[in-house]
Structures are given as structure tokens and as C-alpha cells.
Amino acid sequence: MSMTLNKPSVVDSGEFTVRRTVTVAAPLEKVWAAITEARHIAQWFGQVAVLDNVALGAGGVFGFDGFGEFPVLIEELDPPHTIAYRWSNENARPVDPLDPAHSTVFRFTLEPVAGGTQLTVVETGFANLADPAGSMEGNRKGWDFELDELVAYLEDES
């Protein structure tokens, strides 16, 4: 079965954002579960995902082999259409509280489309980081890889 082909992520240096939109041949509810439930997140986004629960202000940890574990916080929630996670992606020390001055927010927006779901991720806040350009470029590559993993994960299952 061939995987849906999607365009790569785009950096907007002026706005300090990274954006990517992908189409997944899976229903909205399935995509929503994959981006909000820890057991699914760990299958495509890094290797570790812990969330207290799916609620505004809930915390957790996302971990990536070779990069460490990063504290996360749910900042926006409108099921099953929008969820935004703030994460500290400069220092992998989940024991530290999330510092807004050293974190970014990635926001997933879902829309039903013919044949599946369109998912857009926009990560903002890079201007706050020590190396905005380097962080944006690193995360641009990251979203290309991770969202391709998400598409594969959801489309392999269906």
C-alpha cells in the first residue's frame, strides 16, 4: 500500500514559525487519538510519551532517543479539532518546570477532507530560543520525519 505523499515543512524566518500540512487517509477521530493519546503518540512521535490526561493544563513528557525527554503542557484544547502543546525543547530536563522563555508551542489543527483528514502543525515561539534559526531548521526536519511517521502509522493500521 502506498503512503500518501505530503509536502515538506516550511520555515517562516520572519514569523519564527515552522508549518506543515499533511493529508492522512484516516478518519478524523483516529487522527485525533494519534495526536492526543500517549499510547499512540509514542508510536510515531519519539519513543516516550506520558500525559497526565488530555485536558487544558495537563502536563507530561515526550522523549526521543538520542535527544532526551522534554516536559510538555497542553495549552489549548478543542476536541477533536485543535490541541496545542508547549514544550521545552532546549533542555531535556523534565524535572524543571516549563519555562515559557525557553519553549515553543506546536499546535495541531484537524479538518475532515475527502478521503481522510488534513492535519496542520504550526510551531511558534522560536524567537525566544538561544538559536532561533538552528532550532527552526532542526524542527523543520523533525516535523518532516515525525509527520511522515504519523501518516505511515495511521495508514498502515487502516
Q: What is the mean pLDDT of the chain?
A: 91
**Residue type present at position 106:** F
Q: Distance (Å, rounded) from C-alpha 22 to C-alpha 147?
A: 8
pTM: 0.92
pLDDT in tens, 104-126: 999 999 999 999 999 999 999 99
Residue with cell 532526551: 68
Residue 11 has pLDDT above 60, yes or no: yes
CATH classification for the domain delimited by 10-157, as one of 3.40.50.300, 3.30.530.20, 3.20.20.140, 2.60.260.20: 3.30.530.20
Instruction: State residue 76's pLDDT score.
Output: 97
Residue 102 has pLDDT above 90, yes or no: no
Q: Distance (Å, rounded) from C-alpha 143 to C-alpha 149?
A: 9
* Contact (Cβ atoms closer than 8 angstroms) between residue 30 and residue 44: no
The domain ranges of the chain are: 10-157
72 CB neighbour count, 10 Å cutoff: 24
Residue 92 has pLDDT above 60, yes or no: no
**Residue type present at position 141:** K
Instruction: State residue 100's pLDDT score.
Output: 78
CA dihedral 14, 18, 19, 24 (to 10 degrees): 170
